Amino acid sequence: MTPAHVTVAGLTIEAQTDDGSTLVIVDDVSFSIEKGQVLALIGESGSGKTTIALSLLGHVRPGARIVGGSVRLGDQEITALDMAQLRSLRGNRIAYVAQSAAAAFNPSRTVMDQVIEPALAHRIMQRPAAQAKAVALFGALGLPNPGKIGERYPHQLSGGQLQRLMAAMALITGPELIIFDEPTTALDVTTQIGVLQAFRSAVRDLGTTAVYVSHDLAVVAQMADHIVVLNKGRIREAGTTDQILHAPRDDYTRTLMAAARPVPTTGPAESDTARPLLQVDGLTAGYGKVDARGVPAIPVLHDLSFSLQRGEILGVIGESGSGKSTLARAIAGLLPPARGAVRLDGRTLPPGLAGRCRDQFRQIQIVFQNADVALNPAHSVGEILRRPLAFYHGLRGTAADARVAELLDRTRLPGTLADRRCTDLSGGQKQRVNLARALAAGPDLILCDEVTSALDTVVGAAILDLLAELRQELGIAMMFISHDISTVRAICDDVMVLYAGHAVDQGPRSAYAAPPSHPYTDMLIASVPEMRTDWLPDGAGALALPPIGGIDDSAALCSFLPRCPSRITGRCDRAFPPHRQLLSGNAILCHLEEHELRGSRQHAEAR
C-alpha cells in the first residue's frame, strides 16, 4: 500500500464562545487520503466539516485554535508551519474552491487577472505561460469560448461559470491537494450537473488529491472515492463510497440517506370539485412601467392560470430567475399584477395591498425562504407570534399567551422559546417560528417560498413533515415554491413548472412519474443527482444541442428554445408554442407531439 498523501490524525479544534467557555468543534478526527483520491466530508451545518477542510490549509477561523493532533501533507506537518511557510503553501500546493464564487471574485478585475493571480503570486509562471495554461483549463472545465472568456468581468458570467472559473484558479498552480467547499450548493440542479462533470474530469485528468465538503450525499456519490460522515465534530462513519451508500453502518448515516429522499405523502382524499380556494387567471406581472397592452417593462410572469382547492398543495418549481418568488409576491399583493385576476374563494382580490380588507390579508399568509431576515431581530418569539393574534383576532393577555404556547407546541418548539429572541435560535427553529407566525393568523392559504432550501437535509425533511401534517390536520392549502423537484413531488398534489415566467408544464403529481412531459421538466428530473456512483455521465459538462437556424429575436418564441435538447428546426423557431394536453394529465407549452416527447425523456435520461 502506498503511503497516504494527506494524513489527519487526532485533530481536535476548540473555539471560544461569547461567554468565555470553550467548545470542542472538531473532536479527535483522523483520516487519510491516498494520492489522486477524492475524499468527501459530509455532514450538516455545525458538523465541523468546513473547519476540518480549512485546517488542511493550516487555517482556523478567528476565535478557534487547534489544540491537538496533526495534519500532514506528504511529509510536511502543516500545523507546525509559521505564517510565511503557510503562505507559500496556500494557493500553490494546496488550493481552495469556496461555496459562493460570486462573492469570491473581485468585481472590478477581469476573470483572467484573477485566475492567473496564484501562479504570478507564487512566481511559478510568467504571465503569458499562465494565461495559456488558464485557457487550457477553461477548455478542460467546459467553459464556452475559452480563448475569450478571460477578458470578461465576474458580473457578466453566470454562477455556474464562475464556479468553474474558481476551479481554474485553484488548478492553475497544479496543486497536490484541492479543497472543494460546497461548490455546487448555491447552484441550480441543471447547472450543478455540468459543474460536477467538469470538476470530476479535471481532478481525474490531473491526478490531484481532493477533499470535497458537502451536505448532499447524492452529489458526493458522484465525486468521491471515500466518504467521512461527520456529526457534531466527530466521525460517525468512514468508508468507501459504495459501502456508505449501500451498507451504511451508522444510524446517523441512515438518517441522512432517508432525509435526502422524502417519502411521498398524500393529501385529503376528498375530491372537492366545488369552488376552488384560489383561482389565478392570466396573471402577468413584472417590474417597471406597464404599457398599453398591460405588459410591464421587465415582465417576470407571463399569462399564468391555475387553481388550488382547499387543503391542496400546489408545487411551483423552476430555477432561479424563473419567477417563482414573484408569483408568491403577486398573490400576496406585494407586487400588484399588471394583468389578470386572482380570485380567493370566488371573490376577486384587489391587485395591490391597498383595498384588501383585513380578512383577505388573514386568509393568505406568506412564509419566506430566509428566516434570518423574515423574523424581526428586535422582537422576541412571543412578540412575533402575538402580533398576528392581536391584529386579526383581537387576542391579548392570557388568551394570547395560551395561543402562543399552542402554536409553539404545534410547530414542535419548546414553550420556553417565547421569551427568547429569534437571533438565538437555530435555522430550523427559526423556520418553525416563521411557520407558526403564518399559522397564528388562521390562514386558508400559506405561500411557502423555498422554506426548506436554506436548511440542512435532515432539518428540511422535518419541516416538510410538519407542512404535510398541517395540511392534513388543519386543511390549509399551500403553494410550495421550490427548486428541488424531488421535494415538490413528495409533498404536492399538483405541480407547476415555471421556466422564464411561463408555466411550461402543469398537472397532477402522478403525471410527472412517467414520460412524456415538457423537455424542461425532463431536464430538471434528469439533473437531480441519484444515490449511485455511476449516475453522473463523463465529459466536461457541455452538452451538444440540436443545431437550429438563426433564431429571430423579435418574434415571441418558446422561452426554453435556446436550451432545449429536443428542439426541431422549422417548427420551434417559428412561433410561440401551443398549449398541449397530454394523456397523463399535464398541460404543457411545447411544439412537440406526445410521441415525440416520449423520445425526448429517454434522450435526457440517456445523457
Partner 1 sequence: MTPVSALRWTRRLPLSGRVGLFFVLFWALAALVGPLLAPYPIGAFVDQNVFSGASGQFLLGTDYLGRDVLSRVLLAARYTIGLGTGAALLACLCGTGLALTAVVSPAWLDELLSRFMDTLISIPSKILALVMVAAFGSSLWLLLLIAGITYIPGNYRIARALAVNLNQLDFVAVARARGEGRFYIAVREILPNMIHPLLTDLGLRFVFIVLLLSALSFLGLGVQPPAADLGSLVRENISGIAEGAPALIVPALAIATLTVGVNLLIDALPRGGRRG
Q: In terms of CB distance, is 92 or 365 closer to partner 1? A: 365
Whether 219 contacts 227, CB under 8 Å: no
Question: How is the chain split among helix, strand and coil, in percent rounded to 5?
Answer: 35, 25, 40
* DSSP code string of 442-491: --SEEEEESTTTTS-HHHHHHHHHHHHHHHHHH--EEEEEES-HHHHHHH
* Nearest alpha carbon to residue 473 among 317, 277, 265: 265
Site string for partner 1, 317-356 (x = CB under 8 A): ------------x--xxx------------------x--x
The three-state (H, E, C) secondary structure of 133-187, written as one string? HHHHHHHHCCCCCCCCHHHCCHHHCCHHHHHHHHHHHHHCCCCCEEEEECCCCCC
CB of 282 to partner 1, least distance (A): 23
Q: Please report the sign of the dihedral spanned by the C-alpha atoms of residue 548, residue 549, residue 553, residue 555.
A: negative
- Tell me whether residue 304 or residue 440 sits nearer to partner 1 (CB atom): 440
Query: Phi first, then psi: what are they for 570, rounded to 5°?
Result: 95, -20
By CB under 8 A, how many residues form the interface with partner 1? 28
**From the list 159, 388, 501, 516, which residue makes contact with partner 1 (rule: CB under 8 A)?**
388
Nearer to partner 1, 139 or 382 (CB): 382
Q: Which of 7, 121, 243, 391 binds partner 1 (CB under 8 A)?
A: 391
User: Minimum CB separation from partner 1 for residue 368, in Å?
Assistant: 4
Minimum distance of partner 1 from residue 473's CB (angstroms): 23
Report, in Å, the least distance between residue 456 CB and partner 1: 20
Query: One symbol per residue from 435 to 474: x for binding partner 1 (CB under 8 A), - otherwise; what is it?
Result: --x---x---------------------------------
Q: What is the nearest approach in angstroms of partner 1 to the Cβ of residue 140?
A: 41
Q: How far apart are CA 487 and CA 481, in angstroms?
A: 10
Q: CA 330 to CA 302: how far, in whole Å?
A: 12
Smallest separation (angstroms) from partner 1 to the CB of 210: 37
Residue 379 lies near partner 1 (rule: CB under 8 A): yes
393 binds partner 1 (CB under 8 A): no
The count of other CB atoms within 10 Å of the CB of residue 143 is 25
- Rank residues 93 and 356 by Cβ distance to partner 1 and give the closer one: 356
Q: Cis before residue 577, ω within 30 degrees of 0? A: no
- Among 433, 317, 315, 454, which Cα is nearest to 383's? 433
**Which of 22, 126, 320, 423 touches partner 1 (CB under 8 A)?**
423
State the minimum distance, in angstroms, from the CB of residue 396 to partner 1: 16
Distance CA 217, CA 459 (A): 15
Q: Which is nearer to partner 1, 154 or 333 (CB)?
A: 333
- Nearest distance from residue 441's CB to partner 1, in Å? 7
Q: 70, 243, 370, 453: which one contacts partner 1 (CB under 8 A)?
A: 370
Binding site for partner 1 (CB under 8 A): 329, 332-334, 353, 356, 358, 361-362, 364-366, 368, 370, 373-379, 387-388, 391, 421, 423, 437, 441
